[in-house]
Chains A and B, each alone.
Chain A
Amino acid sequence: MTWRVRIADSAGAAAGCAEAVVDTARPAARAVAALAGLRAPVVWVLLAIAFFTAISGKPVDGLLMLIVAAGLAWDAGRRALRHAGPGRHPDDGTLEAEGATEAEGATETEGATEAGDDAVARPSRLPGGRRRLLAVAALLACGAAYAGVVGSFSRYSWPATAGIIGLGTIVVVTGWHGPLRARPAGGRPPVAGTLAWAVVLVAGCLWELGALLQQPSLTTDSYAHPTISTLTDPLLATSPGRSALLLGWLALGWYLVDR
């Protein structure tokens, strides 16, 4: 019996799809399906970040990135196996495990679009009004308290590390289970405009990478070629500066979780 398994890339775009035809009757074929997670570009990006972060003198960051990359690969492989498994076959014996992801203007919700991605958008729990206002006020108060407390710790100290890892874990695990609320999918973004964004963002990454590589070493700052980290060092040297930056980081995190 032959099953067709399709794994969408990080953007869910058809162009990035890796496709494998899997004969699930054989153990070797099931192993191929289990390794489907390694076809996701995000997994390789995370592995690269883990490697370069570790050799830059931040082994904890590298280990965490490695754990997430392995988790994503395992999850994708598990879903590929589940969709390739017996009992879910359609009439013709071929399963297109990819959802109807790219229908232009479809009214699908996020989270149910990836191959085998059974994450379903959770219904909004705060239907407006006073309840929502209270929730927002509570979140703002918690965020301010978090930024104040974690910002009071020295940079690179274990208490600061624990605070960042704790919140980061909560946010990533929350995102893993799907978006907080359903959003209309919208259409495919304009190609030229998307390319313009890609050019600017990649240029920024390359500029930062160029500065990093022109340092005396990966762990020694350069005045002539400062990285963004070097430029923010004076701000992060003070407790109010750290708290201000943490507030910005929290706001960005909330914005992303709400996507």
Chain B
Amino acid sequence: MIWHEVTIAGYLVVVAGIVLLQVLATRTRVPVPSLGDLFTRAMRSRTGRVGVLVAWAWIGLHFFAR
């Protein structure tokens, strides 16, 4: 039972980290790129762009498709 809560707490920590970094990037002068900047950077090349879009498509496939 305790491991169930621990596992969920781990996910919440990761989500909190993402929110914290995004807030630091967009609301402060701390030198942290926003998630959007990182995506833009990663998607400058064709392989990066296709890779990110395929990752997005995979999420849909994983949750909904056979």
Contacts and interface: CB of A to CB of B under 8 A. Distances in A.
Interface in A183-235: 183, 185-186, 189-190, 192-194, 196-197, 200-201, 203-204, 207-208, 211, 223-226, 228-229, 231-232
B27 interface: no
A68 B48 contact: no
Chain B interface helix/strand/loop/mixed: helix
Contacts of A65: 54, 58
Interface of B: 1, 3-4, 7-8, 10-11, 14, 17-18, 21, 25, 30-33, 35-54, 56-66
A149 interface: no
16 contacts: A9-B48, A12-B41, A43-B47, A58-B61, A58-B62, A65-B54, A76-B47, A110-B49, A156-B66, A158-B66, A175-B50, A207-B7, A252-B59, A255-B36, A256-B52, A256-B53
Interface string A56-68: 0010110011001
Of A10, A163, A229, A249, most B-chain CB atoms within 10 Å: A10
Nearest to B33: A189
A21 interface: no
B56 A226 contact: no
A168 interface: yes
B5 to A, nearest CB: 10
Interface size class of A (residues with CB under 8 A): 35 or more
